[in-house]
Each structure stands twice: as structure tokens, then as C-alpha cells.
Amino acid sequence: MPITMQVPVIFADNAQTTDAELQLIREMGITNVDLNFGLAQCSEQGVRDILARLARFGLVAGNLSCMPLQKNPSIILGRDDRDEHIERFRDLVRIAAAVGVPVVSVAWQPNGILRTGRAACELSHGGLTGYVEQAEVEARPAANGREYSADEIWDNFAYFLERTVPLCEELGVRMALHPNDPPIPSLAGAASLIWRTSDYNRAFALAGESPALAMKMCVGCWLEGGEAFGNLMDDIADFTRRNKIAVVHFRNVSATLPNFTETLAEDGYANMYRIMRRFVECGYEGLMSVDHVFSDAAQNEGRGTDRPGYVIVALDQDATSNPTMRYAYPTGYAKGLLHAAECELGLR
């Protein structure tokens, strides 16, 4: 099974991928999507309805992400109501098994993806892109009422694993764990769970090396952190050999921390062909997608897009902008790199 490229789609009360966008995904030669939805759609029938709509365009879901459960502050911070939210996550696992989608997403990010802001710059070719200034991010006050230590965060993660891994093992569903972004030891007062390779190894050991816990290997996060995160090429080989990668996010940045800007694959500091070739030569057989794209500068006029804030950039839906269109070029570029690597290695 070769690497399977996919494109994010969203079905929630406040945002819906349109039929025209689904047709565009199919016209990219893509058959898989990263399916994101809200709590209102998080039922077996709700997901089956979405899958039926996808099927009309020849599309299937590679993984499921219920956004309010994927980055759930109650679960991550160990609030009094966490058991209720964990049970909802367990329901998501049951839904995934029932509809035949073997991967669900989780990210230990109670405040989402942090960016200093979004701005148009030379590297974004006139669009808006996310950028980080580490000094600004580290100076932010606690966003959740108080500081949360690394011990607390890891204890809460262990509590979550105890209640989800056995069910995932029973039903044959894998959880794909995304690193913290940016990969800094603490973000807005909450210690980061995954900001370096050793943290992934600790997480897998905590799960008893169960196949139920895998990673969403975000190349962008590895590149943001540089050697402080880990050796990307060695980690691709190691985690592929151990079958710990369920999903890959394929993205480049301008530089390592302390400051970086998100870029097209060809504009950042990393050689993305070498990285793609590494996945192929190591035998990775799983899902891959571009996770962050530019947004339209015009739609943000007067909205203070340069101000610091918690910026979720992967699914920036807006009625005046076609987000799927913005995935078309970077996804096509990634497919080209994949095909070139397969040809070079005699696999195509």
C-alpha cells in the first residue's frame, strides 16, 4: 500500500465543505479526506450521512476528527467533567469502528495551535500565513485560570489512555496523536505534552507500546523545533519501522524557532523532496496531507489579523474564501514529490 494523500474537509454547524469543493478534491486525483466535524455530527448516523455524501464524489474518509473532542480542555486539564468528555471520545472510537474508519485524531493542545499572528509577507505571496515569535508566545499569561505543570499534563494523559486504549484495542481503532504547535515546553500556562521526539517515546511506553496509540507526524512541527525536537530523518525511519505513524502532516517553514513563518513546501528552509523520499524509502504506508494553507488577505481587512492570538490555521473556513482551492496547489506539489520519489526508488 503506497502513501495515500488526502485533503481536510469539515462538516460542522458553522462550516460546511461544499459539493463544489468535494468535486474539486476528486479532480485533484484524491480519493481520501481528513474528515473533521462537530459534536452535532458526532453520532453513527451523523457520520454515515457525511460518508454517504463523500461517496457521491468517489471519496472516503481516512481518519475522523471531532474537533471539540480532539483538543478538549476538560480532558487535557483534568477538569471535574473530564469523564463525561472522555466517554464522548470513547463514543467517537465506537463510531469509527462501526463505519470502518480505523483512525481518530487527538491533540493535547487545550488552547489549540498558537501563532503570534497571521500576516501577508513575501513568503506567503500576498496571502495570509501564520508566524511565531517565541518570545511573544512565552510571555503570554496562563489561558486556563492557572499554570498546569508537566506532571499534571502527563498524569491527565495517563488517565485518558487508561480509559481509551483498551477500547481502541478491542475495536481495532488507532488514535493519531499530534504534537504541540509550536513545540515549546509550555504554551499559555499549560505544559506541552509532545514537543520533542522523546515525548512520543514516553507516550508510547505509557500506552504499553499498544498499536492503539500512534502519532500524527507533523513534519512542520519537527521543522519548527529543529534538532531540539529531534532528528527528522532518523525519526521517520525509526517510527516507520515501529509502525507508530498513522498520519503525516507535510508542511515547511522559513526557519527553526525562535521565529518562523509557514511557507509553501518549496519556499521553506527544509528540502521537502528529501523528506518525502525518506518516507518512501523507509516504507511508510499511511495517510499524508498538507495541514496548513494560506488564507485570503482581503477577507481579513479591518479584523486585526496581525494581533497576537490563538490561531487555528488548518481549517480557516470563510464564506468569501474557498479553503479547498487553497489546498489544491500545495497538495498537488506534494503528490508530485511523492511520485518523483517513487520513480527514483523504482516503485512507479
As a whole number of angstroms, the distance between CA 234 and CA 104 comes to 26
Whether 172 and 97 have beta carbons less than 8 Å apart is answered as: yes
Three-class secondary structure assignment of 164-193: HHHHHHHHCCEEEEECCCCCCCEECCEECC
CATH architecture of the domain covering 4-344: Alpha-Beta Barrel (3.20)
* Angle CA 231–337–340, to nearest 5: 115
Asked if the model's pLDDT at residue 303 lies above 80, the reply is no
Amino acid at position 189, single letter: G
* Angle CA 169–38–24, to nearest 5: 100
Predicted pLDDT of residue 289: 97
pLDDT tens-digit series, residues 215-246 = 999 999 999 999 999 999 999 999 999 999 99
Asked if the model's pLDDT at residue 301 lies above 70, the reply is no
Asked if the model's pLDDT at residue 311 lies above 80, the reply is no
Q: Which of 27-41, 90-104, 110-124 has the lowest mean pLDDT?
A: 110-124
As a whole number of angstroms, the distance between CA 156 and CA 128 comes to 35
pLDDT tens-digit series, residues 35-92 = 999 999 999 999 999 999 999 999 999 999 998 999 999 999 999 999 999 999 999 9
As a whole number of angstroms, the distance between CA 345 and CA 297 comes to 40
As a whole number of angstroms, the distance between CA 277 and CA 184 comes to 28
3-state secondary structure of 337: helix
Predicted pLDDT of residue 308: 37
| CA-based nearest residue to 3, from 280, 311, 228 | 280
Mean pLDDT for the stretch of residues 111-140? 92
Which are the contacts of 79, defined by CB distance < 8 A and separation ≥ 6?
Answer: 73
Whether 57 and 97 have beta carbons less than 8 Å apart is answered as: no
Asked if the model's pLDDT at residue 310 lies above 80, the reply is no
Predicted pLDDT of residue 141: 94
pLDDT tens-digit series, residues 159-206 = 999 999 999 999 999 999 999 999 999 999 999 999 999 999 999 999
Sheet holding 259-263, edge to edge: 117-120, 128-133, 259-263, 252-253
Whole-angstrom Cα Rg for the chain: 19
Predicted pLDDT of residue 295: 84
pTM > 0.85: yes
pLDDT tens-digit series, residues 8-22 = 999 988 888 999 999
* Angle CA 226–232–235, to nearest 5: 135
Determine which helix (DSSP H) or strand (DSSP E) holds 157, and give its type and residue range: helix 150-171
- Mean of per-residue pLDDT scores for the chain: 92
Residue 306: band (very low, low, confident or very high) from pLDDT cuts 50, 70, 90: very low
Residue ranges of domains in the chain: 4-344
Residue 1: band (very low, low, confident or very high) from pLDDT cuts 50, 70, 90: low
Residue 313: band (very low, low, confident or very high) from pLDDT cuts 50, 70, 90: very low
| CA-based nearest residue to 327, from 11, 65, 13, 21 | 21
Residue 340: band (very low, low, confident or very high) from pLDDT cuts 50, 70, 90: very high
Predicted pLDDT of residue 118: 87
Asked if the model's pLDDT at residue 268 lies above 50, the reply is yes
Whether 195 and 224 have beta carbons less than 8 Å apart is answered as: no
